[in-house]
Amino acid sequence: MELLMTTVLNSKITSPDDKKFIEEINSLIENEGDGVCQAVIKMLTDLNMPPDEARKIWFDIVDHREALYSFLGRDVDLLTVIADYLSLSGHFFKNPKIVEFEVLEKALSDSRHDNLTGLLNRGCLWEILNGHLAQAKRHNTELAVLFIDVDDFKFFNDTFGHQAGDNALASIANVIREESRTDDVAIRYGGEELVVVMPNTSEKNALVLAERIREKVEGLSIKVDGITRSLTMSGGIASFPADAHDGYALLSMADKALYRAKAMGKNNIALFAEKKQRSCSRSRLVRAIKIKEIGFDPGALIHGASKNISMGGMLFETGNQLDVGANIEVSIPIMNTEPLFLIGSVVRVGATKKGRYDVGMVISFKKLEKAAKEEISSFLMRRKPKGKGNSTERASMDSTNIVEM
């Protein structure tokens, strides 16, 4: 209920007047059900009641407000309406308790937020995660969870002291808050572990956000006794509906992806889905390769070296930092035959000790098929005959030329 109470409270704070607030609550009731009424009544009066009873009370209050308006010829403050209604509603409401929004806002904030980082605390996690998951199921949308752990934090804490560790965690929390979007919810899970719940977010977009956070954390300058120190973080991502359909499983899978990111050398972001892809046979493949952004206009080539390959993706190294989410084409020489061309998306970029980058690429066979069709179409358009002539003969000639290529 706390998630709904927070939503109701935010509606009250942002609404210019009681009329707009009532309209927003009624809209919420239509979308989310009678639990909204239960949250409103609990928030305003501290009364606990079943959702169906709360629905009746809420709409009775709305009707009572309209009746007072008709009788007095002016608007009456909602809290006054509620107090009057409860006083007239029989022995159950002899001593109504009206809760001031400012007092409630502070109480909710204090109980829900972590004092050190300012992020929501672990006690809010399951209600928030399950609430957003229920909405994703209801509206057929995606949801992603990012599980973060600060790399080597115990060593940092033990070496430089708890105050330095606290300052570092607060700085990292600020990065997460600044880089997160409006609908994202950041939570301190415990110690140096943090969770970001991302509604309406695909796995690919979650990875883009996670990489942005990782890079900003890596670039933090943390002052300890006048000396600049640095920290890194690792993260794991799991998504609904691709990986799991309940909150516990989703968080567990994000946690597993996190520990795989640690195993890959830390300062990494890993996808749980990538683990499923890795169940395919992965073979070592060391070749000089060429990479470019997808497109058929001439573009700058990037040189690199492949490391391994599977049916689902490839890992390669390059001196250029590619963007996560970029669509790329890779040319791989295979013995004495024509090069193998792969098309896909960058899902992971990690800096190596040599100042180069390891790039994880997921192969997209749909993009391969589309690119092939576009390539053929582009070729045919370039070879389209000008002027009059035997179209059948020219088409045959073009077909022959395609084979010869």
pLDDT of residue 91: 44
3-state class (DSSP) for residue 298: coil
Superfamily of domain 283-363: predicted glycosyltransferase like domains (2.40.10.220)
Nearest 5°: phi and psi at 186?
-100, 135
Spatial contact of 357 and 318, defined as CB atoms under 8 Å apart? yes
Higher pLDDT, 203 or 313: 203
Max CA distance (Å), the chain: 97
The predicted-structure confidence for 28-44, as pLDDT tens digits, reads as follows 888 888 888 888 888 77
192 catalytic per annotation: yes
**How much of the chain is helix, strand and coil, in % rounded to 5?**
50, 20, 30
Give the pLDDT of residue 396: 38
Bridge partners for 337 per DSSP:
none
Please compute the mean of the pLDDT values over residues 178-182 and round it to a whole number: 89
Angle between helices 35-45 and 2-14 (to 10 degrees): 70
Q: What per-residue confidence (pLDDT) applies to 383?
A: 56
* pLDDT score recorded for residue 9: 66
Give me the catalytic one of 142, 179, 192, 329. Answer: 192
- pLDDT tens-digit profile of 96-139? 555 555 555 554 555 577 889 989 888 888 888 888 888 888 88
**Considering the domain 113-276, what is its CATH architecture?**
2-Layer Sandwich (3.30)
Higher-pLDDT residue of 353, 152? 152
**Tens of pLDDT along 185-240?**
999 998 999 999 999 999 888 998 999 999 999 999 888 888 888 899 999 999 99
Nearest residue to 44 (alpha-carbon basis) of 78, 95, 15: 78
Indicate the domain borders of the chain: 2-109, 113-276, 283-363, 369-404
Give the per-residue pLDDT at 351.
76
Among 389, 321, 385, which residue's Cα sits nearest to residue 398? 385
Q: Are 303 and 288 in contact (CB under 8 A)?
A: yes
Non-local (6+) Cβ contacts of 345 within 8 A are 204, 325, 326, 327, 328, 361, 362, 364
Give the range with max mean pLDDT: 227-241, 310-324, 337-351. 227-241
Instruction: Determine phi and psi for 311, rounding to 5 degrees.
Output: -65, -25
Separation of alpha carbons 248 and 131, rounded Å: 13
Average pLDDT over the chain, rounded to whole?
78
Tokens of 348: 């992971």
Backbone angles phi, psi at 349, to 5 degrees: -135, 120
Q: Name 104's Cβ contacts closer than 8 Å, sequence gap at least 6.
A: 9, 43
Q: Which residues 6+ apart lie within 8 Å of 158 measured at CB?
A: none
